[in-house]
Amino acid sequence: MSDYNATQHDQYVTAFFDSQSDADAAVERIVAEGVSRSDIRVVAGDDTAKETSYKEDKGFFEALGDFFMPDEDRHAYAEGLSRGGYLVSLNTTDANRDRILDILDDEGTVDMDAREESWRSEGWEGRQTGYEQPAMATGGAETPLMSDEIAGETAYRPDGASGEMVDGTIDVVEEKLRVGKRQMDHGRVRVRSYIVETPVEEQVSLREENVHVERRPVDRALSDGEAAFAEQTLEATETDEVAVVSKEARVVEEITLNKDVEEHTETVSDTVRHTEVEIEDDRTDRTEPTR
């Protein structure tokens, strides 16, 4: 899975899957997160491809031409598509990027770095075959120079015998260096909370009251003012204490995830090619190179 920053704000996530079911499951979950289905691009591989390819399909490589990714990644994804895989790509935001990465991981996205190493051990060269730049042929004094197919026309350079040339054009081509940014994952920190029940014990003293009826024989005279035969009632209530348990949830710790962002400038060095045209003007007997 790869991230590509086309601009400062655009973050494209590209993931590769071995099966259509895994790719479809990832797409459905991403749509459920609020991403429009029309914003998700899916490229299906060759269902009839053999397990070992070693040669990318030209159509797959060209189909990835408008995907913002380095050429080496395009070669790798084209090789995977030729083996029957599926490519899912979409633009993310800062709000949903981490959630979409989790979904792609859960649905079985392929680790392309490990897969490329496996292919190289099988003989894959890490680039598309069959697209080498044709070598320029040179002609001697007695040999006509090569013919070039240019925009549907055939132009012949003059040979030494006739000095004639048919109408045609020579394209002057110059490469432009386009530098983008690829975001690499170096691992993820995930904090998950879950509930654990732990038995606890507390001791509490409880009081219990019991009523007992006591009868004891006496023999005494009535005291002054004491009624001889008056109705009386004695009453006592038995009580006991029981344990009452209540629980209060309190926050004892807070955990957050923070990122430290550092920016640095890196110089990217590469080479670009351009076409040099040499004009021979026999009228003035001079040779001048132009670009």
What the chain holds in terms of domains, given with CATH numbers, is 2-130 (3.30.70)
Two structure tokens written together for 19: 């099966």
CA dist., res. 64 & res. 88, Å (int): 11
Question: In the structure encoding, which two tokens stand for residue 291, read together?
Answer: 């670009």
Q: Tokens representing 142? A: 């007695």
Are 11 and 93 contacting, i.e. CB atoms less than 8 angstroms apart?
A: yes
Look at residue 65 in the predicted model and tell me its pLDDT.
67
What pLDDT is recorded for position 279?
A: 85
Q: Is the per-residue pLDDT at 188 higher than 90?
A: no
Return the pLDDT at 229. Answer: 82
pLDDT per position as a tens digit, 60-117: 766 676 676 777 788 888 888 888 889 998 888 888 888 888 898 888 888 888 888 8
Per-residue pLDDT, 75 = 84
Q: How do beta strands 11-17 and 86-92 pair?
A: antiparallel
Q: Which residue has the higher pLDDT, 122 or 217?
A: 217
Among 2-16, 71-85, 164-178, 192-206, top mean pLDDT goes to: 192-206
pLDDT at 149 > cutoff 90? no
Burial class (CB in 10 A: 0-12, 13-18, 19+), 60: buried
pLDDT score for 69: 74
Largest CA distance in the chain: 167
CA distance 118 to 115: 5
Q: How far apart are CA 168 and CA 155, in angstroms?
A: 5
Average pLDDT on 107-131 reads 78
Residue with tokens 């029957």: 84
pLDDT at 285 over 70: no
User: Which pair of tokens denotes residue 94?
Assistant: 């800062």
242, two tokens = 């029981």
Crossing angle for the helix pair 112-122 and 71-82, nearest 10 degrees? 70
